[in-house]
Structure 1
Amino acid sequence: MNEKWSIGEVAKLFDVSTDTLRYYEKADLLPVHKQHHNGYRYYSYEEIVLLMDILFFRNMEIPVKEIKQMITQMDIGDIKHILNRNQSVVESRIQELLKLKQSINQAANQYKLCEAWLGKYAFVAAPGFSYKLVSGQTEDLVDMLRKYRKEDWLADRVQYTLFVSQEALLRQPAFCSAQIGISVEAANLDVLTAAEQQELAAFPAGEYLYTVLGTNYEEPRHAGLEQTLRHLQATGRKAGGPLIGRYIASVHRDGLDYYEVWLPTDKT
């Protein structure tokens, strides 16, 4: 029976690098024998068994420092405590990854929505979310970002929303005169305090023109808004109130932010 294995043989057997084995040796975790006549490293059966335990615990992402304590100092109860603690850490990471997956799916869906509706129109019922105007000042946006927790903002539980008054829209179709605010779906109202919820307003019932538009906020006349107004006119309708735009995506290469847009309509 072969009772000696070279570092290369052990590395191949366990699919690890020789550098990893040398690291374990340097950390006083995995002893190694050296042949007197040539100085070559080799491992005996005992080190093979020990390495199996080391890799077993490393696969659980237990730090090398703790593994050393586990194999040299700890009893069954101590090891159980370490494993239970790591189980809690993993459970927490799973929840974080599930939340990340949800955020990625939502963001992907928003870009898909942007691609599907850019420059297209539909007449729909009033949006179901509630909103609150803030103002048109940049510093107010910063205050909003500070006020609503980052994780809620990124998950789009509280969404950045623009408003262009009917008067401004008809006088100069552009986003440069927009006011800023927030909008919140009914299912997400719990992120706001009771007082903040009282400040929200609902959209009046009626017919709204829905589309997606991109803007750099600087256009003196926005071609997409002008086209939207022409579409209303062609269908025998006119703007019947302020335009509501809810942020969904950005393309930094083009310097554009994209919004779902709702515009209340009246018959002409």
Structure 2
Amino acid sequence: MKDKYLIGEVCKLFNTTRDTLVHYEKLGLISPKKDDNNGYRYYDIEDLNCLTDILFLKKLNLPLTDIKKAIKNSTPSDILEIIKDKEKHLQEEMKKLKELEKTLRAMKLNVKACINNLNKLEIREEKENLLFIEIAKKNNFNDFIDIIEGMVNLVEGVEVLNKNFLEYINFTFLIEEGGLFEKDGGKKVKWGVTLRQSYKFSEDIILNKKVEFIPKNKYIYTVLVLDDTDYDDWLERIKDIVLENNIKVGGPILGRMMLTEYDNDVAMDYYEVYIPIK
């Protein structure tokens, strides 16, 4: 074993770069010597041992500031505390990644449903009760932001909702039972959000709000692309589905937004529509 190694040799031994070694030197992590005759840096065994520790700790994603503490002036107890802090940080990151994975999985299912169920009819049985919370009552789709702001203000102080509120709700329209075929059926449409009754913060959310209980039922299920610029048109489409298929409607018709498609800046909203049957 040699007692001196040039920077190129160290790069080859540790599969690293010259710039990395120079950066570590500037930060005071390693201190190679210089040959007085030629000015070349050289690294001794102590430097190589130190570099081994640095690269190991770097694999743990420790910041260089913590690595410097660990290798320059620390006891085993100090190093243990650094590792514990990193472990806690990793656990928090893993939790975030799991939440992200859950959100992506739900989005993937929604997008697949938009592709596979568009304009197709099937009988489904909803296995869980829903709560519909009315926020607005207007003949358009443009109240989503108002709804979200209203809900966030309503549940301010509910810790979990502040973090992942949108995972639990769907922007929803609700056509009152019998309202679809009334002369001015548009006035029978309510706007708000739905959430599953099992959601553990339901009581906090529904405080001081008009809430309707949507029982589990059998439904005609379909996915429609609804143009938010033509309110009457999509109501007629739902009427046509009911009439053409001789559906005996047995409750309020529910539509939950799943996805928005943009075509030359024109928004087209995909809704899953539940038509309860008697």
Normalised by the shorter chain, which TM-score bucket?
A: 0.7 to 0.9
Question: What is the TM-score of this pair, normalised by structure 2?
Answer: 0.81
* Residues in 2 aligned to 1:95 and 1:32: alpha-carbon distance in whole angstroms: 41
Match of 1:243 in 2: 253
Structure 2 letter corresponding to 1:83 = I
Alpha-carbon distance, 1:193 to partner: 1.8
Structure 2 letter corresponding to 1:129 = L
* Residues in 1 aligned to 2:14 and 2:184: alpha-carbon distance in whole angstroms: 67
Unaligned runs of 5+ in 1: none
Bigger mean CA deviation after superposition, 22-31 or 208-217 = 208-217
- From 200, 205, 210, give the equivalent of 2:221: 210
Alpha-carbon distance, 1:172 to partner: 8.5
* Equivalent residues of 1:174, 1:217 under 8 A apart: no
* Residues in 2 aligned to 1:188 and 1:134: alpha-carbon distance in whole angstroms: 19
* Equivalent residues of 2:129, 2:215 under 8 A apart: no
Match of 2:274 in 1: 262
Alpha-carbon distance, 1:233 to partner: 2.0
Give yes or no for the alignment of 1:79 onto 2:79: yes
SS in 1 for 2:199: helix
Cα distance per residue 1:193-245 (max 9 Å; x no partner): 2863995322257653211112242114435x544433322332355554311
Aligned-residue RMSD, C-alpha: 3.1
SS in 1 for 2:201: helix
Alpha-carbon distance, 1:177 to partner: 8.4
Bigger mean CA deviation after superposition, 197-206 or 178-187 = 197-206
Structure 1 letter corresponding to 2:233 = H
- Work out the number of aligned pairs and report it: 264
* Residues in 1 aligned to 2:206 and 2:182: alpha-carbon distance in whole angstroms: 35
Unaligned runs of 5+ in 2: 156-160
* Equivalent residues of 2:228, 2:267 under 8 A apart: no
Bigger mean CA deviation after superposition, 25-34 or 233-242 = 233-242
Identity %: 25
* Residues in 1 aligned to 2:118 and 2:193: alpha-carbon distance in whole angstroms: 22
Structure 2 letter corresponding to 1:135 = A
Question: What is the TM-score of this pair, normalised by structure 1?
Answer: 0.83
For 1:111-122, list aligned pairs within 5 A. Answer: 111-122=111-122
Bigger mean CA deviation after superposition, 187-196 or 206-215 = 187-196
Match of 1:17 in 2: 17
The 1:20–1:123 alpha-carbon spacing in structure 2 relative to 1, beyond 3 Å, is: same
Match of 1:28 in 2: 28
* Residues in 1 aligned to 2:275 and 2:59: alpha-carbon distance in whole angstroms: 56
Structure 2 letter corresponding to 1:256 = M
Alpha-carbon distance, 1:135 to partner: 1.4
Match of 2:212 in 1: 201
